[in-house]
Structure 1
């Protein structure tokens, strides 16, 4: 891995947090029952259960046994100015997936398929995404979203009483992904790699990895975002993901593209000052800097 990234010394998570995340968190913190679930997690040492589950079944990554993967993690923490390097484990699975569990001592878990199917910067994007959750102090609320069904089962009429809290937790959980995606981009500092990662997560077949057409995916993400102007589409989206922990991959890509094309991203001065935009004709990716438009329709190849 080439160490050519800018180290964001003194980075604070409020500098990149998505406004949807901030608003949803404010709503969540004022929702009745949130303290009850937090106390349940603390009292019943839920984090310990997760720790035993994932450390007892998966491969621990260290500088001795998997030095390159461990270097990804160390470098990501250095870039994002995350002082404590979390433990990292690999579990079997051939989807491109990763997650983080625990609050006091978070653990990052990567699928083995992610390592095989992603290049260096794509892996940095995904590990940076998980480190972003830790950096933004998301983990306690994430654990609440994971165990709320256990909590409400122990309370009479809990499922009815907890409905507003469930909705607030699940909604915030989805919105927090937008913030973590921004952290992933700050970490990999490669817009094309972030788009490639989304395309692979969305279902691109391995045989098509060498034929990625970024234009069509960006066009899809742009058109999906435009659906928000139609009230019925908003209702359909809400019903479809009301109890999901992650927003749709294309929706995440659309939100990240909005940030890339904003002045906020350029404030970090990462050497990627041009915008990713959709040019209606011809069908190529263009850059809105003074550089000459590239004829190749594929970024990063």
Structure 2
């Protein structure tokens, strides 16, 4: 059996890629990356050959057969080399230059703990990146590269690049599932990657894991370090784990997947229904009010500034790092301004009242973005926490969202 991977590519990825590759700044960034990298593909392969173990068929016929089966399924042409890296974590990656072989790396821990079906899912996922040529738009380099301190890519386009990157992971997940041909293997593979556990005491369930999305806050993590863009979900290259799981779970129930597996489609979902669910879930990581031009966006941006100043002032004064955090969120420069704290906070009540008219999702995003401001100086004080809780309650979001944000970090699984 052979499939055309493009038939299963996530719609959102296709749309976003068309947008970003047509942007002048993105094209300029890609040209600069090619200039800087030169022959990096061969250099990367050389470093692997000198420091890791390359698996041959004689060493591991099982892995060789799995790679061959996945290649045949998706019509991948050209050689694939597999390397084992000495790591104690579950990791896998894939890289391909314009010339040379596709290079697949698997950690020794992953090879030891994953079942054959789980390995097919992981290997299929990585080869999915190659099938869709995700390496032709290298991230996060494309969004971050600059010259003389000036980025090639504008901030709105940078956000689209990250959104494309997250959608690309979902396309690769679909290829992983098609290679594994077993949703339960995908469930257990996701569970092991997300939890680091490989214990038979826990039996993962794809549908149960997928339901975590319902209680998932669209939150950046407030870390105990200086603020940087990596703490924002909209600057993440990977979707939340539960979002990925639910996307795979939904795809496994689609007519297109079942037909590819030779199974009856019956009451299966249409791919359009799957795409609608993916679009809705992916919005959890895309706080569009930060870049849109609309009345709703203006309302939320004004409140974010006012509430951010209120949170920053709660612990004895507004620090420059906190103003910088607000400016980075809003895409503007507040770092050098003198703030009349009393005057700004005086507008808080009215701006909260205006924000009650916007959807709850955006209010929740705003509350959790306040943790970025609170954590900008390296810690979240009790006074800052109290102000955030109060703002959350007045926005009818719930103070628990603040605690979830500060406590929970969602990490990419590959």
Same fold by TM (over 0.5)? yes
The separation in 1 between residues aligned to 2:266 and 2:211, in whole angstroms, is 18
CA 1:90–1:269: 2 relative to 1, 3 Å: same
Query: Which residue number corresponds to residue 211 of structure 1?
Result: 202
Query: Which residue number corresponds to residue 148 of structure 2?
Result: 156
The separation in 1 between residues aligned to 2:215 and 2:65, in whole angstroms, is 41
Which residue of the other structure, out of 124, 130, 134, is the alignment partner of 2:130?
A: 134
What is the Cα deviation at residue 89 of structure 1? Answer: 1.0
CA 1:15–1:161: 2 relative to 1, 3 Å: closer
The separation in 1 between residues aligned to 2:43 and 2:159, in whole angstroms, is 25
Q: Which has the higher contact order (CA 8 A, sep 6+)?
A: 1
The separation in 2 between residues aligned to 1:68 and 1:94, in whole angstroms, is 21
Q: Moved runs in structure 1, 4+ residues, more than 6 A?
A: 274-277
The separation in 2 between residues aligned to 1:68 and 1:161, in whole angstroms, is 44
1:59 aligns with 2:86: no
Query: Aligned with 1:205: secondary structure?
Result: coil
Q: Which moved more, 1:262-271 or 1:13-22?
A: 262-271
**1:51-73 CA distances to partner (integer Å, 9 max, x unpaired)?**
33333322112113333222221
Q: Any stretches of 5+ residues in structure 2 without a counterpart? A: 222-229, 270-414
The separation in 1 between residues aligned to 2:110 and 2:264, in whole angstroms, is 25
**1:231-265 CA distances to partner (integer Å, 9 max, x unpaired)?**
xx457699742222221222111111111222222
Q: Any stretches of 5+ residues in structure 1 without a counterpart? A: 1-6, 278-301
The separation in 1 between residues aligned to 2:60 and 2:17, in whole angstroms, is 36
1:108 aligns with 2:119: no
1:257/1:276 contact within 8 Å kept: no
2:118/2:185 contact within 8 Å kept: yes
The separation in 1 between residues aligned to 2:189 and 2:140, in whole angstroms, is 25
CA 1:48–1:24: 2 relative to 1, 3 Å: same
The separation in 2 between residues aligned to 1:274 and 1:69, in whole angstroms, is 35
Query: Which residue number corresponds to residue 261 of structure 2?
Result: 269
The separation in 2 between residues aligned to 1:161 and 1:194, in whole angstroms, is 35
- 1:112-261 to structure 2, matched below 5 A, reads 112-141=108-137, 144-148=138-142, 151-152=145-146, 155-159=147-151, 162-203=154-195, 205-206=197-198, 208-214=199-205, 218-224=207-213, 226=214, 233-234=217-218, 240-261=232-253
The separation in 2 between residues aligned to 1:178 and 1:95, in whole angstroms, is 22
Aligned residues: 257
Query: Aligned with 1:65: secondary structure?
Result: coil
Query: Aligned with 2:83: secondary structure?
Result: strand
